[in-house]
A = this chain, B = another copy of it.
Amino acid sequence: MKLSDASALVEGALREIELPAGELNGLYEPISYGMNAGGKRLRPGLLLMTAEAFGGDKATEGAMPAAVGMEMFHNFTLLHDDVMDNSAMRRNRPTVQAKWDVNTAILSGDTMLTLATQKMMTVPDALLREVLDIFNAMAIKVYEGQRLDMDFETRNDVTTQDYLEMIGAKTGALLGASARIGALLGGADSKAAAQMERFGYLLGLAFQIQDDWLDVYGDSTTFGKPIGGDINNGKKSFLLLTALESGTPEATALKAAMEMAPGDTKIKTVTRIYDKLNLNEKVRKAVSHYSSEALTALKKSGLAEEAREPFRALIDKLTGRKR
């Protein structure tokens, strides 16, 4: 099953979620709002794709509540992240904290975490403990990743290694857990499921590095955000850290450029330094490396050639590779 097909199924299931109304609208309306923001539905989509690859149509159907739970978890983190980052907009709409208030984003977010856990609990008894253990361990990783991300803002000693650890926790863990839980629900054994987790984790790394690249070299229309946002915000992206670690005169120039006031001149200056350092190629290489590692894990999962095809297509789609 392609991601687009899986995502369409997820959208359908999300539309059917029923939450209490009336007196408790103040708690549940922001949850519906957060869940209806659209997006790629990458995490639940991957969960469904994996369930289908190992278990066919029936497994896909049975895995739907868990897929919804994974999307609910992801959206809980978005509600709280938007408070922590003081973000007013997300996907062209006001964030929950902007449309309602900070307290609503906190409390409705908490509720989404518990609702997500309840959704994960729809798995069969025989898998209940294993699935919840994966889910909870993933959640802890995501919090740790968010903590590191916040700490990076004020640290001057962040390395690309630190960065990879952070995105591995914040993005990789969620994709890894989605693929692993999907595999288990599709009937995969623990070993195959662990390889699919590795696939998801590495896919997450490749995807996040690609996202950092798009912020500099992408097209603002397809990227969905203005180009150069990371440069203007001083974000410790893969590009910035790689450049700073190059030990070249350009690294010194870059440090100075990053002190400039946000604006087009800053973006242009930094991009020119990235160009000189041939960062474009270095980043493509890193994305390629993690994509290829992901493919190795995918193969080790034991899935047949044909069943692996949608996952290969997913890598290409997320890393912008032409087919």
Residues of A within 8 A of B (CB): 23-24, 26-27, 80, 83-84, 102-103, 106-107, 109-111, 113-115, 117-118, 121, 125, 128-129, 132-133, 136, 139-140, 143-144, 146-148, 150-151
Contacts and interface: CB of A to CB of B under 8 A. Distances in A.
Chain A facing B: main interface SS:
helix
Contacts of A144: 24, 27
Contacts of A147: 24, 26-27, 107
Nearest to A105: B106
Count of chain copies: 2
A112 to B, nearest CB: 10
A80 to B, nearest CB: 6
A107 B143 contact: yes
A139 B114 contact: yes
Nearest to A139: B114
A24 B145 CA distance: 9
Contacts of A143: 27, 107, 110-111, 114
Contact of A128 (B24, B84, B107, B129): B129
Contact of A107 (B84, B107, B125, B133): B84
A18 to B, nearest CB: 14
A148 to B, nearest CB: 7
A293 to B, nearest CB: 25
Contacts of A26: 147, 150-151
A23 B165 CA distance: 12
A136 B121 contact: yes
B84 A106 contact: yes
Contact of A103 (B129, B133, B150): B150
A115 to B, nearest CB: 7
A129 B139 contact: no
B110 A136 contact: no
Contact of A121 (B80, B133, B139): B133
Given A147-B26, A150-B103, A140 B128 contact: no
B113 A110 contact: yes
A109 B147 CA distance: 12
A84 B105 CA distance: 10
Nearest to A27: B147
Q: Indicate the member of A23, A103, A143 with the most B CB atoms within 10 Å.
A: A143
